Structure 1
Amino acid sequence: SRDQDSRTLFALENDGLRWGALSVEQSQEKKCPNCERTYGPDLEYCPFDGGVLASPAAAGAKTASGGYSVGQTVADKYTILSPPKVGHHCGVYKARDVQANRVVAFKVLHAEHKNDRAVNTRFQNEGYLLSSLTHPHIISIHDFGITKEGTQFMALKWIEGMSLADLMKQDKKVDPRRLSVVFAQVCDALSAVHQLMKIHGAVYPHHLMLTPAGSADIVTLIDFSRSQSLGVKQEDPPDLDYFGDASRGVLYASPESMTGEALDDRSDIYSLGCILYEALTGIAPFEGNNGVEIRQKHLAKKPTAPSAVTPGVRINQYVDQVILKALEKSPDKRHQTIEKFARDFKGAMAS
Structure 2
Amino acid sequence: MIGRILGNRYEIIEKIGGGGMSYVYKARCKVLNRFVAIKILRDELTSDPDFVNKFKQESLSAASLAHPNIVNIYDTGIEDDIYYIVMEYVKGETLKKYINRKGRLSEQEAIKISRQVAEALKHAHSNNIVHRDIKPHNILITEEGIAKVTDFGIARAATSSTINNTSNVIGSVHYFSPEQARGGYVDDKSDIYSLGIVMYEMVTGIVPFDADNHISVAMKQIQEKPVLPTKKAKNLNISKSYEDIIMKCLEKHQSFRYQNIDDLIKSLDSLNGFNAGNSTEDDEIIDSPTMVIPIINDDVDDDGVINIDLIDGNSNNAFKSFFGGDTEEEIKNKQKKENKPMNDAERNKNLKITVAAVLSALVIAVVGGIIAFKAIMYVPEVEVPDLRNRSEEEGKQIIEGLGLVFQVAKREYSSEYEEGKIMEQSVDEGMMLKENYPVEVVVSRGQKEIIVPNLVGSYAIEAGIILADAGLSEGTVEEENSDTVPAGQIIRQDPIQGTPANENDRVDYVVSLGPKITLVVMPGVTDLPLDAAKAYIIQYGLTVGEVTTEPSDTVEEGFVIHQSVTAGHEVALGTSIWLTVSSGKPDTEEPGTEEPGTEEPGDGNGDGEDTGASGTYPLTITLPKNKDEVYIVVQKVAEGGREIVYSNDVDTSEQSIIINLEGKGTQVFEIYIDNELYDKVEIKFE
TM value normalised by structure 2: 0.38
Pick one of 127, 142, 149 that aligns with 1:221. Answer: 149
Q: CA deviation at 1:84?
A: 5.5
Aligned equivalent of 1:166? 97
Q: CA deviation at 1:350?
A: 5.9
Is contact 1:203–1:268 with CA below 8 Å preserved after alignment? yes
Q: Give the residue type in structure 2 aligned to 1:261.
A: G
Aligned equivalent of 2:129? 198
Q: Give the residue type in structure 1 aligned to 2:154.
A: R
1:96 equivalent to 2:28? Answer yes
Is contact 1:237–1:259 with CA below 8 Å preserved after alignment? no
Q: CA deviation at 1:128?
A: 1.6
CA distance in structure 2 between the partners assigned to 1:93 and 1:126 by the alignment? 17
Q: State the percentage of identical aligned residues.
A: 29
CA distance in structure 1 between the partners assigned to 2:46 and 2:62 by the alignment? 21
Unaligned runs of 5+ in 1: 1-67
Q: Deviations over 1:268-314 (max 9, x none)?
A: 00000001111111221111122122111101111111122234122
SS at 2:146 equivalent: strand
Is contact 2:92–2:140 with CA below 8 Å preserved after alignment? yes
Q: Deviations over 1:248-270 (max 9, x none)?
A: x2211111112211210000000
Q: CA deviation at 1:349?
A: 6.3
Pick one of 208, 228, 231 that aligns with 1:305. Answer: 228
Structure 1 residues 276 and 106: CA distance shift in structure 2, 3 A = same
> Within 5 A, what are the aligned runs for 1:24-43?
none
Is contact 1:228–1:234 with CA below 8 Å preserved after alignment? no
Structure 1 residues 89 and 311: CA distance shift in structure 2, 3 A = closer
Pick one of 98, 114, 118 that aligns with 2:46. Answer: 114
Aligned equivalent of 1:185? 116
Kindly report the root-mean-square deviation, in angstroms, between the aligned alpha carbons of the 2 structures: 2.0
Structure 1 residues 145 and 263: CA distance shift in structure 2, 3 A = same
Is contact 2:15–2:23 with CA below 8 Å preserved after alignment? no
Aligned equivalent of 1:28? none
SS at 2:26 equivalent: strand
Aligned equivalent of 1:176? 107
Is contact 2:61–2:156 with CA below 8 Å preserved after alignment? no
Structure 1 residues 265 and 96: CA distance shift in structure 2, 3 A = same
Aligned equivalent of 1:234? 164
Q: Give the residue type in structure 2 aligned to 1:238.
A: N
Larger deviation: 77-86 or 160-169? 77-86
Is contact 2:40–2:82 with CA below 8 Å preserved after alignment? yes
Aligned equivalent of 2:191? 268
1:211 equivalent to 2:142? Answer yes
Q: Deviations over 1:123-181 (max 9, x none)?
A: 1122122221111111111110111x123211111100111111110111111111111
TM value normalised by structure 1: 0.73
1:126 equivalent to 2:49? Answer no
Q: Report the number of matched residues.
A: 272
Aligned equivalent of 1:321? 244
CA distance in structure 2 between the partners assigned to 1:84 and 1:161 by the alignment? 12
CA distance in structure 2 between the partners assigned to 1:261 and 1:278 by the alignment? 25
Is contact 1:256–1:263 with CA below 8 Å preserved after alignment? yes
Relative CO higher for 1 or 2, CA cutoff 8 Å, sep ≥ 6? 1
Q: CA deviation at 1:83?
A: 3.0
Q: Give the residue type in structure 2 aligned to 1:204.
A: K
Q: Give the residue type in structure 2 aligned to 1:212.
A: E
Structure 1 residues 178 and 295: CA distance shift in structure 2, 3 A = same
SS at 1:83 equivalent: strand
Q: CA deviation at 1:342?
A: 1.9
1:86 equivalent to 2:18? Answer yes
Aligned equivalent of 1:346? 269
Return the structure number with greater strand share: 2
CA distance in structure 1 between the partners assigned to 2:204 and 2:15 by the alignment? 35
CA distance in structure 2 between the partners assigned to 1:329 and 1:178 by the alignment? 26
Return the structure number with greater helix share: 1
CA distance in structure 1 between the partners assigned to 2:27 and 2:8 by the alignment? 12
1:287 equivalent to 2:210? Answer yes
Is contact 1:106–1:154 with CA below 8 Å preserved after alignment? yes
- The structure that has the greater radius of gyration is 2
Q: Deviations over 1:58-117 (max 9, x none)?
A: xxxxxxxxxx2x212223222111136332221111111222211111111122222322
Is contact 1:139–1:157 with CA below 8 Å preserved after alignment? yes
Unaligned runs of 5+ in 2: 275-686
1:139 equivalent to 2:139? Answer no
Q: CA deviation at 1:236?
A: 5.3
